[in-house]
Structure 1
């Protein structure tokens, strides 16, 4: 299992993810908040667009249309990195711990 570097745009936040952990969970483990709700690939709250790299979904048909998949959209709650990624996630932010 290798680690991949994930870069979020426009914030420039970075985190590491392996090829088995959903991107949403890897981001949270690194102290980064991405929008989410259902966490099972249906609600689309976490939808992001890949700028570069390849990710695969852990479920057969996530809540994305054929056109969205073709245009590079992913659902980080059920997507895993296959290598380094750059992702458009405009509302990503560092989690503030009190």
Structure 2
């Protein structure tokens, strides 16, 4: 092999090595972009979870309030029905 061929072979190997390096750098950049995208999605999921937890707390408090009001209405209806029965029974005598 003469000097010209040796230089050409070295140049080809250098070109291949540079191409491989460029491809590796591009893969790394893509991985970084993917990681950043995933981090943004995780942040969004965390925000959604916090919002949903707040909504759940609000709805749970509302449900408890409605449950209490429902019990009060039932108690009042029972008293009203008992009063009506007493009036009817008093009128039958």
TM-score (norm 2): 0.13
Greater C-alpha radius of gyration: 2
The structure in which a higher percent of residues are helix is 2
Relative contact order: is structure 1 or structure 2 higher (C-alpha 8 Å, sep ≥ 6)? 1
TM-score (norm 1): 0.12
The structure in which a higher percent of residues are strand is 1
